Amino acid sequence: METEEPKDLLVKPAKIISIVFHPLLMPVYGMAIIFSAPTLLGYLPFNVKKLLLLIMLVNNILLPLSFLPFFIHRNIITSWAITERKERNIPLIITTILYCITSFIIFRLPIPLFLKSFIFASAFLSFMITLINLWWKISLHSVGAGALIGLVLMLSLKMLTPLDWYLISVIIAGGLILSSRLKLNLHSPQQVWVGLFAGFFGLTASMMLFQKLI
């Protein structure tokens, strides 16, 4: 009688981590970090925080997700996970357009420049990885992880506030994200590391540029 091979107990946690830290959720997590951190931005009126989170929730999470059933129906993608590089092109283009719309809306609001620069940087990152994906598969999860690390560093430097525990938390989260993508055999080590550094440097550089130009 044949016995089944023991299942890898780390696969399920890796899947959960990939869902919890889905790329679409990362900018919202970024906003949550900005609003909860002990800086001046944390004292923004609750209605302002709620409005910004609502705009991002609708424009950058619900709307992109609402396109997925149509993409599957039209055979543009074969699964909800969209693991194939070529299948990511149209969803990424749609996501980038929606980020640009979000940036336009938020740019017109009377809110601190740091918040505007973060949204602009998120749109820039979406555009950047869309271009990269045309030729090479990059880990979108890792891009998001790198962006969160960059955001905490930028927040700490610009607000002149030590955010050690926030930084430790996002670094640990980044390690878990990269490990989960490798464990699920969805990316190579090169793809996750390039994604991490692309997210980090792409976000920090575009935020600094935006703040200098505006």
Residue 28 lies in a domain: yes
Q: What is the DSSP string of the chain?
A: ---PPPPPTTHHHHHHHHHHT-GGGHHHHHHHHHHHSSSGGGGS-HHHHHHHHHHHHIIIIIHHHHHHHHHHHTTS-SSTT--STGGGHHHHHHHHHHHHHHHHHHHTS---HHHHHHHHHHHHHHHHHHHHHTTS---HHHHHHHHHHHHHHHHHHHTT---HHHHHHHHHHHHHHHHHHHHTTSS-HHHHHHHHHHHHHHHHHHHHHHHHH-
Alpha-carbon Rg for the chain, nearest whole angstrom, is 18
pLDDT at 79: 81
Residue 140 lies in a domain: yes
pLDDT at 164: 95
Residue 3 lies in a domain: no
pLDDT tops 80 at residue 16: yes
Provide the domain count of the chain: 1
pLDDT tops 90 at residue 7: no
Residue 4 lies in a domain: no
Residue 56 lies in a domain: yes
Domain enclosing residue 19, as ranges: 11-34+44-213
Residue 132 lies in a domain: yes
Q: Work out the average pLDDT over 48-59.
A: 94
pLDDT band at 199 (very low <50, low <70, confident <90, very high): very high
Residue 136 lies in a domain: yes
